[in-house]
């Protein structure tokens, strides 16, 4: 179990999705799968088909940049962010 924070731009795509929630998972990939089971399609917004974290998405665990393999402890905080880019 970890606390997951979603960006507004992502939550807005999935009606009813909160900005902060608890999700079961032993690593970041399982967290993404857990999000997808509650809001089908959210995995595709965060990962490409390889699967890999999309180029302009960053995921932090306790303020450190994470990969899909990064392991989690129950009190961990997972922060999903879109990169600051655009025009």
Partner 1 sequence: MASKVGVLLGTKKGLFIAESDSSRKDWDLRGPFCEAWPVNHAAYDPASGAIFAAGLNAWFGPAVWKSTDLGETWTHSSEGLTYGEGADPLTAVWLIRPAGDLVYAGVEPAGLLASRDAGDTWEHLEGLRDHPTRPHWQPGGGGLMVHTMEVDPRDPKHLYIAISVAGVFESRDGGAIWAPRNDGIEFDFPTEVKEIANCAHHFEMDSEDPTVLFQQSHSGMFISRDGGANWAGVQNGLPSTFGFPAVAHPHRGGSFYIAPLNGDQVGRYMPDAAAAVYRTDDYGANWRALRNGLPQSGAYFGVLRQAMAADNLEPAGIYLGTSTGHLFASADEGETWTEPFNFLPTISSVEAFSTDV
**Interacting residues with partner 1 between 36 and 55 (CB under 8 A):** 40-41, 44-46, 48-52, 54
Q: Does 71 bind partner 1 (CB under 8 A)?
A: no
**Nearest residue (CB) to partner 1, 76 versus 79:** 79
Question: Does 18 contact partner 1 by CB under 8 A?
Answer: no
CA angle 49, 54, 60 (to 5 degrees): 130
What 3-state class would DSSP assign to 33? helix
Which CB atom, from 1 or from 58, has the smaller least distance to partner 1?
58
Sequence-distant contacts of 73-77: CB under 8 A, at least 24 apart: 73/2, 74/1, 74/2, 76/2, 76/3, 77/2, 77/3, 77/4, 77/5
Q: Which residues bind partner 1 (CB under 8 A)?
A: 9-10, 12-13, 40-41, 44-46, 48-52, 54, 56-57, 82-83, 85-86
């Amino acid at each position: 179990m970890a606390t997951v924070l979603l960006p507004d731009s992502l939550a807005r795509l999935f009606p009813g999705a909160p900005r902060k929630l608890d999700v079961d998972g032993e690593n970041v990939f399982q967290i993404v799968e857990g999000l997808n089971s509650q809001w089908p399609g959210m995995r595709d917004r965060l990962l490409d088909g390889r699967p890999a974290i999309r180029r302009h998405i960053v995921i932090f665990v306790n303020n450190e940049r994470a990969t899909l393999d990064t392991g989690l402890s129950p009190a961990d905080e997972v922060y999903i962010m879109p990169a600051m880019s655009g025009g």
